[in-house]
Amino acid sequence: MKNPIKELKGIKDSINEAKQAMDGIKSILNDVKSDVDEAKQNLQHTMEHAKETSQEAKASTDQLKSGLQDSKMAVQDTRSNLSSATQDVKQSVTIVKEEFNTPGGGFAADENKMQQANSGGQGTLSASQTPVMQPPQATAITPAYENPGAELIEGGQLIKEGTAFFLKKGEEIIGEITYIPGPESDTWTLNHTYVNPEYRGGKIAQGLLDQVVQAARAENKKILPTCSYALAQFKRHSQYEDVWMRY
């Protein structure tokens, strides 16, 4: 016959063993939960860091795109300015060449007149025939804002707009000349001269130049000629000496 007390003790021991096993399982589950929570936090931090890195990369990309766009615009502006400056130089050179080569006008006419004055039309002058150079006569300065456009071309009208003179015939611009204040407070920089190719070879360019010179005299300004045509005229004609600013 079995001993009831002994059986009860065995059952109690089994229950204790089961309880210990359950506690062990619970401890393991707690450890797993802790590991899962830690992994979850690490994943959250990783995602936040990745998001910040992505935003920084996007911002850097946007800045790079903006910088490239600004650089592209700067290059385009530089090309445009260079093209405009090149065009001005070409136009000025063309005007100068035509002034030199036009029969009956411009520089060629001035050279012919000088040769005729030196020869008297009859060969070289003797010492007694050499003309005596008279000192220049003081002349009144013509106001710069009159309208001598008709003297430059029939039906022409000279218009001053800001720091530019325009010779127009109706709505057509025949020629223009521009200057800007500086580099000193009492100086102007003459930077551009243009004459419509159909009307080149006469006195239009020089007539426009004379208007700027007269305006400078009226306002006690000196002129720095950076336009190649204006510089050539200043070097050739002593009549501009009083307003010529040299460096």
Per-residue pLDDT tens digits for 84-140: 556 666 666 666 555 555 444 444 444 444 444 444 444 433 344 444 444 434 333
pLDDT over 80 (residue 230): yes
Q: How far apart are CA 244 and CA 247, in angstroms?
A: 10
Encode pLDDT of 133-150 as tens digits: 444 343 334 444 456 777
The residue-averaged pLDDT of 221-239 equals: 95
Q: What is the pLDDT of residue 131?
A: 42
132 — alpha (psi -120 to 50), left (phi > 0) or beta?
A: beta
Given a contact cutoff of 8 angstroms between Cβ atoms, the answer to whether 203 and 183 are in contact is no
- Which domains are delineated in the chain? 106-119+146-243 (3.40.630.30)
- Output the CA–CA distances (angstroms, integers) from residue 45 to 34, 38, 48, 50, 59, in the order listed: 17, 11, 5, 8, 21
C-alpha to C-alpha distance for 158 and 166, rounded to whole angstroms? 6
Write the pLDDT tens digit of every residue in 62-80: 887 777 777 676 666 556 5
| Whether the predicted model's global pTM rises above the 0.85 cut | no
Q: Which of 25-34, 125-134, 147-156, 196-205 has the highest mean pLDDT?
A: 196-205
Find the range with the poorest average confidence among 8-17, 23-32, 149-158: 8-17
pLDDT at site 206: 93
